Each structure stands twice: as C-alpha cells, then as structure tokens.
Structure 1
Amino acid sequence: MADSNPADTLSIARDAGTKPRLTRAEKAEATRVRLFEAAIQIVGEQGYAGASVALITGRAKVAQGTFYNYFESRQDLLDQLLPAISEQLHEMIRAKVMTAPDDPLERERARLCGFFEFLEKSPHLFKILSEGMVQAPTGFRRHLEMQTASYRRALEYERRRGNLRIEDPNEIDVVTQMLLSTREYLSGRFCYVDGQFVRPSDFVADTYIKLLRGQIFK
C-alpha cells in the first residue's frame, strides 16, 4: 500500500467535516491562551485581588493543577498580563499608523485614536493598568518599558525625517513620557462612564493635535 500524503489526509479530514488534530505543542499553547484570557476577564471584573487560581482555571475550564504547568505562581501569571497586552497594543497602533496620511501630526492622531480603539476592544485594560503598579509591579514596569521604547522609536523616526523641533535625547525622553501620560489620562477622562467604555468625541483628538501644534497658549 502506498504511503499516504499528509496534505491528502488533511483534505480528506476537511471533506469529512472533521478538524485536524492539534499537536501537543498547539494544545499546550491553546491552554495557555485560555488561562491568559480568563485572567484578563477576571482582573477586569474583580481586580487583581479577586483573581484567584481557582477562579482563573474555572473560567478557562482547566484543571487547577494544570495551571502550574504554565505558570510558576498566580503572581507569575499576573505579572505577564500587561506585557502580553502591551504587545497587542503595539501591533494595533502600528497598523493604524501605517494607514495614516504621511504627516507627523496625523500619525500622532492615529496613535491616540488607536489607543482608544484598543480600549474599546479590550475594556478590561483600564482596570488592569490602574491597579497594576501596586498589584503586579514587575509586569507594570515591563509594560511601561515596552510602551516607552515603542513611542521613543516613533519620535526618533520623526526626528530623522526633520519633523521635530527638538534634537536633545533628554528632551525626547521627556516628551515621550508626556505623550504616553497624556493618552492615559485622556482615556481615563473621556473613555469611561460608570465603568463602561464610551467612544470619545472627535474633539478630544482634535484638541490634542491643537496642543501639539502649539495652538493653545497665545
């Protein structure tokens, strides 16, 4: 009997309406993702203090003992939440910036609006961020480092293209933190009402751009 072709086997499985079997590594990654998603939901709903291993594994439909195959401890998982979310945030904002008009202020508008859009799709991020400094300091610091590095690269890109009025690296570092802080505070003020996300009006981004243009003070 001739050896079967893996591609033919997969095709037959599809035709039969069955799903191809996952490898052990794929199953493990799927379980890890479920634990992450469950932890994000529970921290978003109840805060870090309410995110017990029992609740996380129950929500993920994973045996409690299995949890420790993926994370050293409850705190280990909580410290990994923000860096994982930070990577997703970076990718989403990058995609928004890539489609923005070739103008430095339009790219900055895309970064702010991309952040708001991410919050709309990931409403639990605000609580995870607001409590993270105290409840998951390791993950919170890593998140800040990742976001700072990403924004710093964006400003360096604008500097190389002659779009910044400043050149001093120390000043660029300060501006990086100012812009990061601004979007955090704007989201807290305009993106949430009674704990529910609301899409900010266009005037929020418009006023932000006015500030960057230097059109606020006479």
Structure 2
Amino acid sequence: MISKISIENIASYKAMTTLETDKKVNVVYGLNGSGKSTLSNFLYQLDTPEYQDCSVEMSKGTSLYVYNQKFIEENFYEADNLKGIFSLSKENKNIENDIASTQEQLKTQLLEEEKEQDFTNAERKSIVTKRLKACGITWEIKQEFTGGDRILEGFLDGLKGNKETFYAYLSNLSKPDLKPDKDMAQLKADVEALRGDTAQTYSLLNLLGFDEHEIESDPIFEQVIVGNTNSSVSALMTL
C-alpha cells in the first residue's frame, strides 16, 4: 500500500506538500482547485516529466490503479449523440476518434469540391457570356458588310440566318498569320470585276494536242530486223 506521497512544483503545489498514511483506505477531499486532480494525475502517470519533483513511497509489489478523468478520456469513448453513454476499451475509442477525424476530413474535402464546382460553373457561365457577346459582334460586322450593295453576300450562303452557325463557321476557319493587304472596298471591286455588270468574259484556251505517241503503232515497227553481228552498228540493233 501507499505510505507517502510528496508533490512539489506542479499546479497549485508550489512548495513541497507531503501526505503520509498507514491506512489501507484513505479519503482525500477539498475545495475545487485545491489539488485533488493533480494528486490523482501524478499517481496515474508517475513517469511524466512534469512530475519530476514528485515522489511516492509504497510497499513492495504494490500496483497502482487510478480511475480519474484522464483514465476515462484514454479508455472510454462518449458519442456526441449519446451523452453519458460510454463505449469500453481504448481500441474502440481510437477507432471512433479515427472515424470522427476521417469524417472531418471528408467534410473538408466536400467543401473544397463544392468550391471547385462553383468556380467551374462560374467559368462556364463566363465563357457562355463571352461567346454570346462574340456572336453578336460578328453578326453586326456581317450585317455591315453584306447590306446595301450585297456584293459579298454570296460568300455567306447557308450562314445568313443564324448567329451561332455563323460564329461556329468563323471559329473553325484557319486564321492568317499576316494582316490582309486588301480592304473591303478592294475586295468588293475584285468581286464586281468577276461577276458584276461590268465583268469581262474571256474565252477558254484551246486544248493542246499531242499525237506523237501514235508513231509507236506504225506497222513498220512490227518488222523484225536481223543484222550482221560483224556490222559496226550491230550493237545498236535490237533483236
């Protein structure tokens, strides 16, 4: 059994305080803050550095079993939805704590995903808004240069009735590396020269004929020529 407890330099025990007893059963009582919990915590964890100035004397073979708040915290688990009801075993407490920690991490992850989704939706909305604006601008340009004389209107067949179709067509065109050297007035003049009222018609060029290959069908080439092997031109003759 315990015969002497000495506590110093911890919590409310600034000076050395000693409790000596020769009884098997002892009751320690006092006001709140008087040091009862500090005493039980010391007995619960004797080897903790914060109790280095404290000591306990007890008979050989004595085992300490302390049931206090620290023991409850380490060995029992109290579910938030079941106040006052505890689950036994330290393992269960650790598992429950791991579950609670994982649930918090999951909640944090879901919040992050929700933020990412909100950002993605905002970006998509921004893209849609910008696309609609671009459709409107290109449509205005189209109307500006196809109205009136309508000289260039023929190049937009099938694209004059829908802004989206017109914009999609323009978006798929290959963009030139250099700025065109002709303005709209010059382009209209070129088109007018090709198919306007003052357009000039040019006759097509005559096809060129080449009949020389027909010589190979001449009957003379069907004759077999046999030459003298001693002739100076025999090497040029084909048998």
Which of the two has greater strand per residue? Answer: 2
Relative contact order higher in (CA < 8 Å, ≥ 6 apart)? 1
Which of the two has greater helix per residue? Answer: 1
| Larger radius of gyration between Structure 1 and Structure 2 | 2
TM-score (norm 1): 0.21
